[in-house]
Homo-oligomer: A and B are copies of this chain.
Amino acid sequence: MQRRDILRTGLTAGIALLGAACQQKRPSVGGGMISANRRIRWRLATSWPPNFPVFEHGPRRLAELVEKMSGGHFTIEVDSAGKHKAPFGVFDMVRNGTYEMGHTAAYYWKGKELAMSLLTTVPFGMNVWEQYAWFFYGGGMELMQKVFGKHGLLSFPAGNTGVQMGGWFRKEIRSVEDFRGLKIRVPGLGGEVLARLGAEPITLPAGELYTALEKRVIDAVEWVSPAVDLTMGFQEIAEYYYLGWHEPAAELQYLVNKRRFEELPPDFQTMLVVAMKETALDATSEFFARNVEGLESLRMRYPQVKILRFPDGVIAELKRQTQLLLQEYASANPLFREVWEHQQRFLERARRWTELSEFYYLTIR
């Protein structure tokens, strides 16, 4: 498979990639025979703690589907960060071939390539359907392969958390000033925006968050949403749960070592690519259902928790600082600029359709 074919992936929503994979000559007995004589064992590293709800289910389903489609000839062993001990080493481990693939989030790798911070979700950016339309039919996949291809990697959408919550706070936020000096766990562009308001974004291992919040080492924790937050126990020690603005459509990501992918038989390549996309729909559906359950549980069992929106003035300032931050990065980094401007152009048109369809509908339902 040629690099050119992988770059075209986005233009035809994966078909070009699959097409290229299958243009190789095969004996007249058919592709099934080729694969039947091979056994391929891959390993996948996740960025998640062991048994992390919903997050871990996606890659495990992927492994199950690929094994069944290949009649047991192509297997993928899934290791959580509990096993490999390097949740933020997934990028390097897949790049150097220690693992053939990973399950992670693109924005963790902004230190490797700034543009990767745009490929999970963007504050005040696209919602889930806008983003899938951008990935598969708006040129997004092509740009994503360009960004990751520089590092010998392929990247594929792996399921979306939907709108993430703004975080658990121990005190109410009444104005922009309340962010000054606030120690909050929050990653990605969202954290950088809050830093511009005077907050101190902090990174801590998942296992230390509850204690840090309880002992007031930190003042607030942005985590995910009701689907998984309740298992962390934050609702027992933080009274305010704010609605989100910074991660409207956090797409998880499969990373694949490009050379190893090219070594796969063509039928196995297709199985892998199809199964990855299937698990994206499945995981997004599961996140939604678990969020519904989590919210219900929160309402019933923890009525003391107040679900609030940030004041209008705070939202306006967050939006203003988001634009300034993105503009600064775009000025400093051409690849970041290319991806961001592409997303902006798509969203400018896409939001018109969202407003006439989904948004309008939700106002009348």
Contact = CB atoms under 8 A, between A and B. Distances in A.
A331 interface: no
Contact of A270 (B65, B163, B226): B65
16 contacts: A13-B282, A31-B73, A36-B36, A68-B267, A70-B267, A127-B362, A128-B129, A132-B284, A136-B281, A136-B286, A163-B357, A163-B360, A275-B278, A295-B349, A307-B356, A351-B365
B267 A71 contact: yes
A30 B36 contact: yes
B31 A292 contact: no
Given A285-B13, A292-B350, A360-B243, A71 B278 contact: no
A1 to B, nearest CB: 13
A288 interface: yes
Nearest to A26: B71
Interface in A104-125: 124
Contacts of A365: 124, 248, 351
* Closest 10 pairs (CB-CB, A-B): A31-B71, A32-B36, A137-B289, A163-B357, A281-B281, A133-B288, A133-B289, A32-B71, A136-B285, A132-B285
Interface string A255-282: 0000000000011001100110110111
A69 B270 contact: yes
A68 B136 contact: no
A204 interface: no
Interface stretch (A15-23, A174-182, A193-201, A214-222): A15-23
A267 to B, nearest CB: 5
Interface of A: 13-15, 18, 21-22, 26, 29-36, 61, 64-65, 68-73, 124, 127-130, 132-138, 162-163, 225-226, 243-245, 248, 266-267, 270-271, 274-275, 277-278, 280-282, 284-286, 288-293, 295-296, 299, 307, 309, 315, 319, 346, 349-362, 364-365
A29 B135 CA distance: 39
B73 A295 contact: no
Contacts of A274: 65, 69, 274-275, 278
Nearest to A357: B163
Q: Which of A22, A291, A365 counts the most B-chain CB atoms under 10 A from its CB?
A: A365
Contact of A65 (B18, B162, B248, B353): B18
A137 B285 contact: yes
Contact of A361 (B26, B163, B282, B352): B163
Nearest to A157: B281
A132 B291 CA distance: 13
Contacts of A293: 349
Contact of A15 (B61, B133, B361): B61
A354 B357 CA distance: 15
Contacts of A124: 364-365
Contacts of A64: 15, 18
Contacts of A360: 163, 243, 309
B69 A271 contact: yes
Given A281-B278, A365-B248, A71 B289 contact: no
Nearest to A30: B71
